[in-house]
Amino acid sequence: MSTQLPDQVEEESTETDAEPTAAPQERRLASKRDRAGEADRRRQAEEADKALDDDTYHLKVFRYDPEIAGKKEPRFDDFHVPFEKGMTVLDALMYARDTYDSSLTFRHSCRQAVCGSDAMFVNGQQRLCCKTQLSDLEAPVRIEPLPHAEVVKDLVVDMQHFYDQMEAVEPYFQTNDYPDGELEEQRQTPENREKVKMSTRCIWCGACMSSCNVAAGDNEYLGPAAINKAYRFTMDEREGEEMKQQRLKILEQEHGVWRCQTQFSCTEVCPKDIPLTEHIQEIKREAVKNNLKFW
C-alpha cells in the first residue's frame, strides 16, 4: 500500500510530466549561450591579434655566446616589443634585455649619436641604433653584429683592429710651424675650417669599415674612417707643409688610399653623413700632385 497522499502523487506526476518539455528548452538556451560565448572569444582573440600587430614590433636578434655550451651555435631569438612613437632600435633592444632576457648583450652609451658604440647591422645595412627609428623599418626587424668583425658575444664585436687602423694615421694635431708671437694663437681661416668641417664629425662607430668590401678582403687596408681622419689633419692649414708630407707618406702606402675602389658604400652608411669617398678621392689627388716633378 502506498503511503503517499493523493495530492502528493498528483503533484509529483505533474512535475514528472513537465520535465521532458523543459529539458529541450534549457538545452537550446545553453547552446545559444555557448555559441554567443564562442563568438565573443573569437572576437576578443581577433582584437588581441590586431592590437599585437599594431602595438608591437617583432625583433629577430642574433645570439651567440662562446662561453656557454648551449649558446656556442649562432642563432636568432624572437622578441615582441611594445611600440611607442619615437622608439629607436636601441630603445627596443633595451626593452627586450630588461624585460625578456637580461643576458642579451650589446654596446650603448650616450644614446645621442655621439659615442658611436651602438653601430649594428639592421635589416641588411650598417646603422646607428640610437639614431634609427623603429617605425622606418619593415618588420620583422633583423638585428645582427657588424659584418667583417669578430663577434665577442651577441651583438658585440671586437673593435681593436678598427682602432689600430685609426691610430696608424696619427689622428691628432701636430705641427712644427708656430706663430712668431709667444702668446699668438694658431689661426685657421673660415674657408679652411669649412673644408675640414665634415671630416671632424667622425664618431669612430666603424659602420663604414664594416661596409667596405676592400677592407673585408684586405686586413691591412687603412679603411675609410682612418683615411677620413687623416684627411681632417692633412687638409688643416695649421699643421704646415712638413707634417702634410709625412701624412701623405702614410696614406700613399700600398694599403692606403689607392686600395679604395670608389664603391661609395662607406658614404651610404655613415650615420653622420660624411662624404667619405669624396675625401678619399681628394687625398688621391693630393698624393698625385705631391709626386709630380717638373724639370
- List pLDDT tens digits, range 51-71: 455 589 999 999 999 998 888
Q: What's this model's pTM, rounded to 2 decimal places?
A: 0.77
CATH 3.10.20.30 boundaries in the chain: 56-156
Count Cβ atoms below 10 Å from residue 94 Cβ, excluding itself. 18
From the CB of residue 62, how many other CB atoms can be counted at a distance below 10 Å? 18
Q: Where in the chain is the domain with CATH 1.10.1060.10?
A: 159-291
* CATH of 159-291 among 3.30.70.2190, 1.10.1060.10, 2.40.50.140, 3.30.420.40: 1.10.1060.10
| pLDDT (tens digit per residue) in 253-285 | 999 999 999 999 999 999 999 999 999 999 999
Distance CA 203, CA 192 (A): 21
pLDDT for position 9: 44
Question: Which stretches of the chain drop beneath a pLDDT of 70?
Answer: 1-22, 43-54, 183, 293-295
CATH class of 56-156: alpha beta
Distance CA 65, CA 72 (A): 5
